Amino acid sequence: MITVQNLTKDYGPNRAIDKLNFTAEKGEVLGFLGPNGAGKTTTIRILTGYMPPTSGTAEVGGHDVIEESLEVRKLVGYLPETVPLYDDMRIYDYLKYMADLRQIKDPDEKIEDVLELIGLELRSQSLIKNISKGMRQRVGLGQALLHEPDVLILDEPTIGLDPKQIIEVRNIIKNIGKERTVLLSTHILSEAQQICDRVLIINKGKIVAEDAPKNLQSRLSSIQKVKVQVADGADKAATFIRDIAGIMNVKINNNGMIEFENRIEQDSRAVVAKTLVDKGFDLLELTPEIVSLEDIFLKLTREEPVISSTEVEVEHEE
């Protein structure tokens, strides 16, 4: 549904995005992760037809975002980062206005459905200036969903929501993502981990990693950390573990658990378990520690050397 090829945008001498290439398929939630100023909003604005790229192409539903901008805008439901609303309007009137602009048939019925979906059916007559930030966010999401778009583009959709609302909104996005294409820009890593089928990490206008959150985690963690718990004699058990080939940094933490590291391609867990059992220890726990998406994000977007996706592949292959 979304195809981006060599997309570049310059603001004067500054390059906001640099030759971006990616696709998003139908029935996929694609996460767009990156620090502030990475180029997420610029990319989204190009995809929604708000601004043109300097070079490269972008297509939504087979329509070029510049040449067939109107067709693209019909297909896309968009929630900008700023959640633009008319403060002097009532929620219902605002949604009616947006529905009329999209020339939706039976707008009243659609508005009722959306109000129920975003949980504001009892507040439909509230003035927008009097509602909370979380409600504003939901109204913004509501207008993006009104015309049941094939492509939903959301720029930081859960900012300002309380934990309950965040869960609700994430569930809405997940459900929509089953049948349609969702492009979700966020800097909340756990959100990307929970909702997205695939994640693009963008930094300084370039894609530095692209994969499913789980795959990214496994691809990018060359060292595996493992925690071991035995019933008695942790010190002695640690000595035996140190003797196993390929195991590094064995230590005992404050809880009496043994921690060690091994290279991901030399998984030593089976050897460790066998050794400890053979030596007569009661093995209570042997758990690999999962590298969080947060670690990956920080690794990829830190100021110093930027690890490109190809470099990551090489590092993994070594």
Partner 1 sequence: MRNIWTIAKKEYTGFFYSPIAYVVGAVAFLIMGIYLAYYLNIAILYQRVPDIRYILDVLVFPLFFLATPILTMKTLTEENKTGTLELLLTSPIRDHELILGKWFGTFLFYLTLIALTWFYPLVMNIVIEPGIDQSLVLANYIGITLMASAMTALGVCISSLFKNTVASMITSLGVLLLLWLASAPAQFLSGAAADFFTNLCITEHYYYGFREGVVSLSGISYYISLTVLSLFLGTRSIESRRWR
> How many other C-beta atoms are found inside a 10 Å radius of the C-beta of residue 274?
12
C-alpha–C-alpha distance, residues 35 and 302, integer Å: 9
C-alpha–C-alpha distance, residues 306 and 300, integer Å: 6
C-alpha–C-alpha distance, residues 29 and 192, integer Å: 9
- The upper half-sphere exposure of residue 117, i.e. CA atoms within 13 Å in the direction of its Cβ, equals 23
Q: Which is nearer to partner 1, 42 or 301 (CB)?
A: 42
As measured in angstroms, the least distance from the Cβ of 206 to partner 1 is 23
Q: Which is nearer to partner 1, 101 or 298 (CB)?
A: 101
C-alpha–C-alpha distance, residues 263 and 223, integer Å: 5
Q: Which residue has the tokens 């064995």?
A: 250
> How many other C-beta atoms are found inside a 10 Å radius of the C-beta of residue 68?
17
- The upper half-sphere exposure of residue 206, i.e. CA atoms within 13 Å in the direction of its Cβ, equals 9
Q: Which helix (H) or strand (E) holds 210?
A: strand 206-211
Q: Which is nearer to partner 1, 33 or 85 (CB)?
A: 85
Give start and end residues of each alpha helix (H) in 200-268.
213-220, 234-242
Q: Which is nearer to partner 1, 99 or 196 (CB)?
A: 99
C-alpha–C-alpha distance, residues 308 and 77, integer Å: 31
As measured in angstroms, the least distance from the Cβ of 78 to partner 1 is 5
Positions touching partner 1 (CB under 8 A) are 45, 48-52, 66, 69-70, 73-74, 76, 78, 80, 82-89, 97-98, 100-103, 143
Nearest to 307 by CA among 188, 221, 225: 221
As measured in angstroms, the least distance from the Cβ of 112 to partner 1 is 20
As measured in angstroms, the least distance from the Cβ of 1 to partner 1 is 17
- Exposed, middle or buried: residue 197 (CB in 10 Å: 0-12, 13-18, 19+)? middle
Convert 158-192 to b/e letters by CB count within 10 Å (16 or more is b): bebbeeebbebbbebbeebbeebbbbbbbbbbebb
As measured in angstroms, the least distance from the Cβ of 81 to partner 1 is 9
As measured in angstroms, the least distance from the Cβ of 48 to partner 1 is 4
As measured in angstroms, the least distance from the Cβ of 150 to partner 1 is 13
Q: Which is nearer to partner 1, 87 or 162 (CB)?
A: 87
As measured in angstroms, the least distance from the Cβ of 57 to partner 1 is 15
